[in-house]
Structure 1
Amino acid sequence: MEALQYPIGRFEPLPDYSPAMLREYINDIRDLPTLVEMAVQNLDAFQLQKPYRPGGWNISQVVHHLADSHINAIARMKMALTEEKPIIKPYDEAAWAELEDVKNTPINVSITLLHALHTRWANLMERLTPEQWERSFIHPEHGRRFNMKTVAANYAWHGKHHLGHIQGLKERMNW
C-alpha cells in the first residue's frame, strides 16, 4: 500500500539546496502541466473516476487537487516574499477534493489552470535572489518555518508524486 500511496517515495527535505537543484525543481514545476496533460489525454470518463489506490482519490480528483494545492503554494510563496515570516492558513485537502467544482468541472479546466499557474510560478522562481530563496513562512500544522528552497523542492516532488499516481494506475490497469 505504501508504494501505491507514495509511488516516488516520501518527500525528504534536505538541509540546503544548490542552485543547480533549484533550477531542476523549477523545470519540474514548469513541465508538470504538460506531463499531467499527456498522462490523462486518452482516458475516458470511467477511467477518470477510478481511484489510484483503495481509499484514494480518483484521477479527476488528483488533477483538480494539483490545481488547488499549487494555487495555495504560489500564494504562500508570494506571502513569504512580501511579508515577514507569515503564518500561512492550512486547508482541508480531502474536503476540497469532495466539493462540487471538483465533481462537476472537466479536468481540462484544471489542466489549463496548471499551465498558466506553473508558467507564472516558474517565472517567479527563476528570478529569485539568494536572499529571497531564504525567505520563509510558518506552517501552523507543522509548527515550523519553510524557506522558499524547501517549498520549491517539496512542490517539485508533489507534482511528480501525483503524476506517479496517475501513471501507476494506468500501468496497473493496462490503459
Structure 2
Amino acid sequence: MPRIFSTTLLIAGLMAGGSVLAEGEGKHETHFQKWAEKLELSDDQRAELKQLHGEHMPQMRAHHQKMRELRAAERALDPTAKDFIKRSRKLAEERARFQVKAATTRAEHRQQMANILTAEQRQKMAEAHKQHRQEMKDQHRGDAKGHGRGGGGHMKGKHGKGHD
C-alpha cells in the first residue's frame, strides 16, 4: 500500500503542477516545472499531462469527499447501539467497494500518464521515485540529516530494549 500511495503522490505532484500551472500558483507551478525539466517533457507532453490532470482531478476530489463522508459516518456510529456491529460492517463493506473503485481509477490514470511519457522518462521517474522512497525511509528511521525520530532516547531492538 505505501508504494501505491507514494507513486500516486509522485504522479499527483507532477499532475497537480499542471492544473495549478494554469492558475499561476507559484509553489505548484515550480513543482511541475521541476518535474517537466527533470523528465525533459516536450510542449506536447506538458499539454497532454495538463489535460489528463484536468480530467482526472474532479474524480479524485469526489473520491476524497466520499471517503471523508464514510469515515465520518463510521465515527458517528453509537457503539452502544444494538445494531452497531451490523451498521459498522455495512459501512466497512461500502468503504471496501469504494476503495476498489478508487484504486482502479488511479491505475487507469497511471496508465494514461505512462502512455504519454517515453520509456526513458518512465525510467527517470521510477528512479526518482525509488530515491524518494529511500529518503522517506531514512527520514522515518531518523537517518536523514536532522530529520526523523532519531537521536537520544530512540528505542532499539525488540520490544524497546536498549534505550539510550
TM-score (norm 1): 0.35
Whichever structure has more strand as a proportion of its residues is 1
Structure holding more helix per residue: 2
| Higher relative contact order (Cα pairs below 8 Å, separated by 6+ residues) | 1
Larger radius of gyration: 2
- TM norm structure 2: 0.37
